[in-house]
Homo-oligomer: A and B are copies of this chain.
Amino acid sequence: VPGCGVEVFALADAAGDHLGIHEAAVESGVPWRLVDQPALASLAETVHPQGLVAVCRFVDRPLADLLRRTPRLVVICADVRDPGNAGAVLRCADAAGADLVVFSGQSVDPYNGKAVRASAGSLFHVPLAVAVDTAESVAALRASGLSVLATTGSGEVDLDDALDAGLLAAPTAWVFGNEAHGLAPDIAALADSRVRIPIHGRAESLNLATAAAVCLYASARAQRRP
């Protein structure tokens, strides 16, 4: 993780198992400290740690700074509570080429160990803002010229219609709400449009990460192949 590594604690054979990490640590002058199994176990949160624990700096930046880079595809997680979901959305945002992820309102801390693991490294790839007010984030993104689309099962625009209408080719910020309660109506009302993902079968909804995947890949395609 270039630039944010502080210190690595590793078993003796971990350097061989994780050549890329060892190389990156050496190159960037991050101390590589050997520890034994009980020491590693006391540092790691998982039952089966992967042989090393890296201590990293926080990577989030103020939203205003990140908006100066004129992002074109943004994710706002509003009150997303589950760390596994938070990490999965980060990974998916990274894969879809999102420029910015915002954890707003009462969202879980993306530095939660489970979120970090579920992000599979993407926590360190995508520019990140945390602990922002959701309404303020929406206002700031709209002021930066992005179209703000809120995802809700009761949205007035079907995602396929939005695609057919060319709505997704514009710079877009997607707002995803809480896993159990969805997006708060007052937040949904702030968006330019409220978009529903079509449900073709009998499921009531998609889970958060799969919903984000569908919306973000629709945007990625529309922005690249209008």
Contact = CB atoms under 8 A, between A and B. Distances in A.
A120 B213 CA distance: 18
Contact of A224 (B160, B204, B213): B160
A225 B164 contact: yes
Interface stretch (A4-12, A43-51, A94-102, A184-192): A94-102
A78 interface: no
Given A92-B210, A206-B95, A201 B164 contact: no
Interface in A86-114: 88, 91-98
A150 interface: no
- Of all A-B residue pairs in the complex, the 5 with the closest CB atoms, nearest first, are A97-B200, A210-B213, A94-B203, A95-B203, A94-B201
A183 B76 CA distance: 33
Contacts of A211: 213
A220 B159 CA distance: 12
A145 interface: no
B88 A210 contact: yes
Interface of A: 88, 91-98, 118, 120-122, 125-126, 160, 163-164, 197-207, 209-214, 217-218, 220-221, 224-225
Contacts of A218: 217
Given A93-B201, A206-B213, A209-B209, 4 more contacts: A88-B207, A94-B202, A95-B200, A213-B213
Contacts of A93: 201
Given A160-B224, A224-B160, A91 B213 contact: no
Identify which of A120, A125, A164, A221 gathers the most chain B CB atoms within 10 Å of its CB. A221
A164 B214 CA distance: 17
13 contacts: A94-B203, A95-B200, A95-B203, A95-B205, A95-B206, A98-B201, A120-B203, A121-B202, A122-B202, A122-B203, A197-B217, A210-B212, A213-B213
Contacts of A96: 200-201
Contact of A220 (B94, B198, B204): B198
Given A160-B221, A201-B97, A220-B200, A206 B122 contact: no
A42 to B, nearest CB: 26
Contacts of A120: 203-205, 207
